[in-house]
Structure 1
Amino acid sequence: MFNPEILVELANTRMPYGKYKGIRLCHIPEPYLVWYHGKGFPTGKLGMQLATLYEIKLNGLEYLLTPLIKK
């Protein structure tokens, strides 16, 4: 069963390291996610979130995350 909280978390979690440290995962540019896809996503929860975000952006569905961003 799908848990909608996954999308809320995806819209509000910030990248913990690297070039985009501090940026919300949903705002990470698609080319960076494509690079990760080719390199291999990290293990654990962050890897799952980045892989999910890659699929969302690949299919043009990032607009679904916009209303979930907490101010």
Structure 2
Amino acid sequence: MNQELLLESINQTMPFGKYKGRKLLELPEPYLVWFHKNGFPEGKLGQQLALMYEVKLNGLEGMLRPLLKKPS
């Protein structure tokens, strides 16, 4: 796992939908489960959402929360 990729993914902002504007790490688990069942979007965002699904599935969210960047 590339550390930079993980940092970028948890700090990526959701660009669309009900949770537009939220950091990917802050997305509710049921939302990520829905994507897992129905298919993640193509490209980088889909890969980042799949990574956040795995993070939440494995209970790692609390460990990564301190790495969220504060809004400037």
Q: Which has the higher contact order (CA 8 A, sep 6+)?
A: 1
TM-score, L = length of structure 1: 0.92
Kept after mapping to 2: 8 A contact 1:30/1:57: yes
Runs of 4+ in 1 over 2 A off after TM superposition: none
2:56 is aligned to: 57
Give the number of equivalent residue pairs.
Answer: 70
Q: List gaps (5 residues or longer) in structure 2.
A: none
The 1-side partners of 2:32 and 2:54 are apart by 9
TM-score, L = length of structure 2: 0.91
1:10 is aligned to: 9
Q: Percent identity?
A: 63
Cα displacement string for residues 17-67 of structure 1 (whole angstroms, at most 9, x for unaligned residues): 011000000000000000010000011000000001001100101123212
Q: Tell me how far 1:6 sits from its aligned partner.
A: 1.3
Q: List gaps (5 residues or longer) in structure 1.
A: none
The 1-side partners of 2:26 and 2:65 are apart by 10
Kept after mapping to 2: 8 A contact 1:7/1:68: no
